[in-house]
Structure 1
Amino acid sequence: MTTLTEIPALTRSILHELERTVKSIPVEEIERLVGQIAETGARAGRIFVAGAGRSGLMLRAFAMRLMHAGFHAYVVGEAVTPGLQAGDLLIIGSGSGETGSLVHMAAKAKKLGASVALATVRPDSTIGQMADTVIAVPAAAKERNDGSATTTIQPMGSLFEQSLLLLLDTVVLCCMDRLGIDSAAMFGRHANLE
C-alpha cells in the first residue's frame, strides 16, 4: 500500500516521465500541425477532433481551446457537430493508430477531401499511413508487449494521454503566437451561461 510519504516521489516520477517524453517530440512535427491549423482557420475551414477513451478527453479539451482562439472546432460524435467537407482538418489522437472507429474516420475524411493529422505512439500505424501530418509521441504503448523502449511507472496509456494534453496545449500557444491572439480575446469566447 502506498503511504503518504511516497506520494511526492510518485508525482516526481510522473513529471520526469512527462518531461522526457514531451522533450522528445520532434519540433518540426508540431510546427507542421500549427501550420495546418492556421491555414485551415485562414480559409474559414473547420477543425474536427477525434479520439477514443482518455485520448478522446484530451482532444475534447483541445477543441475547447481552439474554439476559444476563434477557430471553428468540433468534436466528432457530438450532436451539434456538422458534416466534414473538403478543405476541413481532422485531428486524431490515438496511441496505437489502429482504433477501428478512428481508422474508419480517417479513411472517410481523406475520401471527402479533408486533411488528417495524427498524434500517436506509432507513426507507421494504419492512421499514420493515411495522415498528412503525424506527430510521434514517444510514450509507452498501452499494450506493453510491443517491444517499446519507453518505460513508465504508469498504467496502460497514461503517459501518452498526459503527453497528448501537454502537446495540444503547446499547439494552442503556438497558434496564439502565430496569429496574435491573447488570453483576453480567448476569455471573451468562454462559456457565460454557467
Structure 2
Amino acid sequence: MNTVEYAQVIINELQSSVSQLGEADTEQMADLLLRSGKVFVAGAGRSGLMGRAFAMRLMQAGKDAYVVGETITPGIAAEDVLVLGTGSGETQGLVSMAEKAQSLGAAVVAVTLTPESTIGQLADYTVKLPGAPKDQTGGSSITIQPMASLFEQTLLVFYDAVILRMMEKTGQTTQRMFGKHANLE
C-alpha cells in the first residue's frame, strides 16, 4: 500500500470506531464538566497528548482546566473533576491519581478501552471507547495501526465531540473561543 491508501484505511477504521460511540456518554460527560469546578486531565503517552489537547479546548471554552503534572496545576477539590484517558486502565500513576482525587471528594471520569480495569472500577463515570489495546500480540483484526493508535484517535474525536456538546449547551461559539487562543506565538 502507498501512503494515501494507508491514510484511507486509517480513516475507515476511525469511522467504524466513532460510529460505536455512545451518545449518552457524550451527554453525561458534557453535563458533568459543565457543572464542575476545575477540570483536571491526565493520561500517559499518546493518550496524555490527547488529554492535553482536550484541556486546551476546555480552557478555550471557558472552563478552568489543567493538565496534571504541570507546574501551574493547582490542587484538586471536592467540586472538581479528574478526567483520565487510558486504554488499559492499569497505568499505576493514573491509578494513584484516581485514588487521590476520590479521597479528596473529586469526581473521576475514566475514558478507556477497559471499563473493567482498575481505573474503570475506581471511576465515578466510565466511558468505554472502541479501539485496540496497545498489546495486540493476540493478532487484533480491528486495526492495521500499531499499538493503541486507533484508541488514541478515537479518544481525541470523543473529546472534541464533548467540547462541541458543551459549546451547544452554553451558546459558546468558535469566535468567542478564539479570544482565549494563545497569542504569544
Please classify the TM superposition score into its range, dividing by the shorter chain length.
over 0.9
**TM-score (norm. length: structure 1):** 0.92
Structure 2 residue 91 is matched with structure 1 residue 99: yes
**Counterpart amino acid of 1:119?**
V
Native 8 Å contact 1:29 1:133 kept in 2? no
State the distance in 2 between where 1:51 and 1:22 align. Answer: 20
Unaligned segments of structure 1, at least 5 residues:
none
Q: Which residue is 2:39 aligned to?
A: 47
Identity of aligned residues (%): 51
Structure 2 residue 142 is matched with structure 1 residue 151: yes
Q: Which residue is 2:160 aligned to?
A: 169
| Secondary structure of 2:12 counterpart | helix
Shift >2 Å, 4+ stretches: 145-148
**Counterpart amino acid of 2:35?**
E
Q: 1:56 aligns with which of 41, 48, 62?
A: 48
CA change 1:137–1:146 in 2 (3 A) is farther
Deviation at 1:85? 0.8
State the distance in 2 between where 1:118 and 1:60 align. Answer: 15
State the distance in 1 between where 2:80 and 2:138 align. Answer: 33
Structure 2 residue 132 is matched with structure 1 residue 140: yes
Q: Which residue is 1:187 aligned to?
A: 178
State the distance in 1 between where 2:50 and 2:44 align. Answer: 10
CA change 1:37–1:109 in 2 (3 A) is same
Q: Which residue is 2:122 aligned to?
A: 130
State the distance in 2 between where 1:96 and 1:152 align. Answer: 17
| Secondary structure of 2:83 counterpart | strand
Unaligned segments of structure 2, at least 5 residues:
none
**Counterpart amino acid of 1:188?**
G
Native 8 Å contact 1:25 1:135 kept in 2? no
Deviation at 1:30? 1.4
Native 8 Å contact 2:87 2:133 kept in 1? yes
* RMSD of aligned Cα (Å): 1.3
For residues 142-187 of structure 1, the C-alpha deviation after alignment (integer angstroms, 9 at most, x for no partner) is 1124686x61000001111111111101110010001110011101
Q: 1:17 aligns with which of 10, 13, 18?
A: 13
State the distance in 2 between where 1:100 and 1:63 align. Answer: 22
Q: Which residue is 2:3 aligned to?
A: 7
**TM-score (norm. length: structure 2):** 0.96
Q: 1:35 aligns with which of 31, 36, 40?
A: 31
| Secondary structure of 2:181 counterpart | coil
Pairs aligned (count): 185
Deviation at 1:31? 1.1
| Secondary structure of 2:87 counterpart | coil
For residues 59-112 of structure 1, the C-alpha deviation after alignment (integer angstroms, 9 at most, x for no partner) is 000000000000000000000000111110000000000000000000110110
